[in-house]
Amino acid sequence: MRRRIFFMVPTIELCHQVLAELRSVGITDNHTHVVARHGTNLEGIHKATAFQKTELLHGIGLGFLVGGAAGLVGGLLAITFPPAGLQLDSTTLALVAMTLAGAGFGSLVSALVASDIPNHELEDFQVRIMQGQILIILDVLQEDVDAIVAVIKSHHPEAEVDVVVPD
C-alpha cells in the first residue's frame, strides 16, 4: 500500500537539494511531485499534475458510478416500457450499452467539473504556497515511510512532514 508524504521547504534551492537527496536514496522522479506558486521556476523538477492538484481522479470515479447507475436505470426503463415503434431484440445488449453509455457520459461530465476543484489534501498548504514556499509530495510504499521521513528530518529539521493515505 502506498502512502503520500507532504512536506514544505522554504526555497526552490532547498527543494533541489531535497530532491537530489531523495534520488540518492532511490526515490524516482515519478514518485515526486512539486507544487509552487505561479511563476516559480520549476525547470528540471517533476511538477504535480492535475491528478495531484485537483479532485480529477475522484470525480472520474464518482461520475462513472453515478452515470453507470443512471444508464442502468434508463436501460431497465427502456426495456420495461419500450418507446412506441422501438423493438428491443436483445435486452441484455441494450442494458449493457445503456449502462456503459451512462458511465462514460457521467465520467466525462464529472471529470470536467472535478478538474476545477482543488485537491482537499492541499488545503492546509495553500497559504504557504502562495507565500512562496514549495510543497513536495512523495508517493512511497508504506514500509519506506519511516526511513524517508528520517532522511528528510536528518538533513532538513525545519521541514514540516505530514503522511496520509491517498483516497
pLDDT in tens, 24-36: 888 888 888 998 8
Higher per-residue pLDDT: 64 or 142:
64
Instruction: Please name which of 142, 128, 135 lies closest in space to residue 161, comparing C-alpha atoms.
Output: 135
Distance CA 111, CA 105 (A): 10
Please, how many CA atoms are within 13 Å of residue 58, restricted to the half-sphere of its CB?
14
Give the pLDDT mean for 85-112. 86
Instruction: Return the C-alpha cell found at 35.
Output: 507544487
- The CATH number of 2-53+119-164, from 3.50.30.60, 3.30.70.2170, 3.40.50.1860, 2.30.30.50, is 3.30.70.2170
The answer to whether the CB of 124 falls within 8 A of the CB of 97 is no
Question: 44: which residues sit within 8 A by CB, 6+ positions away?
Answer: 16
Which residue do the cell numbers 530532491 mark? Answer: 19
Residue 103: per-residue pLDDT: 96
**pTM, rounded to two decimals:** 0.73
Span 35-57, pLDDT tens digits: 888 887 888 888 888 888 889 99
* CA pair distance 107, 67, nearest whole angstrom: 7
Query: Which residues, listed in sequence order, are joined to residue 161 by a DSSP beta bridge?
Result: 7
Q: Per-domain residue ranges for the chain? A: 2-53+119-164, 56-114
User: Is residue 64 pLDDT above 60, yes or no?
Assistant: yes
d(CA 76, CA 50): 36
Residues linked to residue 8 through DSSP beta bridges, in sequence order: 135, 160
| pLDDT surpassing 80 at residue 135 | yes
pLDDT higher than threshold 60 for residue 167: no
Q: What percent of the chain lies above the pLDDT cut of 90?
A: 21
Average pLDDT, the chain: 84
Average pLDDT over residues 96-100: 91
Cα gap 126→20, rounded to integer Å:
24
CA distance 139 to 30: 9
- Categorize the per-residue pLDDT at 79 as very low, low, confident or very high, splitting at 50, 70 and 90: confident
